Amino acid sequence: MEYRPRALGTLAFLIVPACLAQPPELELVTFDAPPYQVVEIIGNGHRSITGETVDTVTCAAELAGWSANITLAPQKRAIYSLRKNSVDGYFAADPSAELDTIASRSYPVALEKWYFFTQDPTAEPDLRRIGVVDGSNEEAWLLANGYEVYLSVTSPSQLLALLERGRIDTALMDERVMIWLRARNELSTESLNSHFLRYAPLHFYVAETFQKAHPEFLPEFNKALPSCTAKTLTPTSREIKHIESLTKRLLAELTKLLNIQQALKAGPQPGSFAEVLNIDSKWQALAPKTVPPLAAHILALPASKTLEVWQSSYKGLVTEIMLVNSMGSIAAMSQLTSDYWQGDELKFLEVAGPELAADPQDQKPFFISPIRYDQSTARFQITVSAPIVSASENTPNGVIVIGLDIEKAMGI
């Protein structure tokens, strides 16, 4: 009966490659922090760890060629494990000098939005009795930045109970946590006043030993993050309303300084779409290390000089500004851009694209992009675009694009 060994041999031949094809596994640790990291009890009492950052880290790890086994621990114990290299990584932590000395930090895996919540609408929250959750990112940041923490408690719901009873004047908390508490009916205070403090990027820290053994992992993980965080970096309705109001004020001011229609006509006028694409390919090959000749010409235009001076006057709030003509190519700009043709991007298509509604009343007044993390400046930015419409036409003949530092914008 020789077929059995042969059959077993064939089976082994099939199983071994399948096993080898399984991705290597990361041993990761995090802490319980709803709604970002949530522990759920599933069948037979087993615990499942879910949440926004869990999904993001798992997604980016898989795209980088790894699977993730995630366990929970208190933050201090998790950091100790990271320091001792008994885990491959730890998330989701606010950047700190301590962690940066013992591990390598990824790009942000989530973005918290911190607010001071008060009952008194006239309160100055940063000068009152501040309450936070013990061991939280908020507590660590306050202490590192010279604030005095009046009370630390074990949970967000306890924090709000103290606020309701007047034991503290203000509670520092992430906006998403507040929304989560409301959804669970754990918020007894009917109305609270909110005061924006900061955006807090949460990172994934890779242990030193793992980083040395797999130096290729973190660059691949970072490369995969944008496709895994698109949903989490979408502006909230509160942010959109605030940004739209701010943009209206900025555009009203700018139109007093610059004749927008005249600036569009003074910019380069390509003869064909093929010419635009040809210029764009040469532009992208040189920028940003070298200024292409056409870019130098555009930057020297009076309109571009006006945009540059106007941007500088806002001391970091405005990160870029450009005028784009009806073909989607740049007519004026405050600084060198990475490409010449903007016509294939949502910032152009959403307000001046060919498939927009013909009736001006149905056209969008603004398009606000997702929040984007700029690694070179370590800032979160957002792009707002608005159609440019001449007095004699109903359809847009251009687009004005303004880049904003979202943290500075929300603080205004």
DSSP assignment string, 3-62: HHHHHHHHHHHHHHHHHHTSPPEEEEEE--BTTTBEEEE-GGG-EEEESHHHHHHHHHHH
pLDDT band at 17 (very low <50, low <70, confident <90, very high): low
Highest mean pLDDT: which of 115-129, 333-347, 355-369, 372-386? 333-347
Looking at residue 362, what is its pLDDT?
61
Residue 92 CA: distances (Å) to CA of 39, 144, 157, 205, 358: 15, 18, 21, 8, 46
> Which residues, in sequence order, are CB contacts of 189 under 8 Å at separation 6+?
119, 160, 163, 164
Mean pLDDT (whole number) for 109-124: 89
Looking at residue 179, what is its pLDDT?
86
For residues 268 and 304, is the Cβ–Cβ distance under 8 A? no
pLDDT band at 377 (very low <50, low <70, confident <90, very high): confident
pLDDT exceeds 90 at position 4: no
Looking at residue 333, what is its pLDDT?
98
pLDDT exceeds 80 at position 156: yes
Looking at residue 374, what is its pLDDT?
81
Mean pLDDT (whole number) for 138-150: 92
Looking at residue 2, what is its pLDDT?
47
Considering all CA atoms of the chain, what is the largest pairwise distance in Å, rounded to the nearest integer? 94
Higher pLDDT: 182 or 158? It is 158
Mean pLDDT (whole number) for 321-340: 96
pLDDT band at 125 (very low <50, low <70, confident <90, very high): confident
Sign of the Cα torsion 400, 239, 115, 76 reads: negative
Q: Say how far apart CA 318 and CA 246 lie, in whole Å.
A: 11
pLDDT band at 3 (very low <50, low <70, confident <90, very high): very low
Mean pLDDT (whole number) for 107-111: 92
pLDDT exceeds 70 at position 6: no
pLDDT band at 11 (very low <50, low <70, confident <90, very high): low
Looking at residue 190, what is its pLDDT?
61
Mean pLDDT (whole number) for 86-102: 92
pLDDT exceeds 90 at position 88: yes
Helical (H) or strand (E) element with 170: strand 170-174
Higher pLDDT: 276 or 21? It is 276
Least-confidence region, from 82-96, 223-237, 280-294: 223-237
Higher pLDDT: 57 or 12? It is 57
Looking at residue 229, what is its pLDDT?
87
> Which residues, in sequence order, are CB contacts of 5 under 8 Å at separation 6+?
none
Sign of the Cα torsion 128, 129, 133, 136 reads: positive
pLDDT band at 18 (very low <50, low <70, confident <90, very high): very low
Q: Say how far apart CA 403 and CA 368 lie, in whole Å.
A: 10
Write out pLDDT tens, residues 187-241: 655 678 989 999 889 999 999 999 999 999 999 999 999 889 877 788 888 899 9
Higher pLDDT: 256 or 378? It is 256
Q: Say how far apart CA 115 and CA 122 lie, in whole Å.
A: 15
Task: Characterize 280-303 residue by residue with b for buried, 16 or more Cβ atoms within 10 angstroms of its Cβ, and e for exposed.
Answer: beebeeebeeeebebbeebbebeb
Average pLDDT, the chain: 89
Q: Which pTM value belongs to this model?
A: 0.80
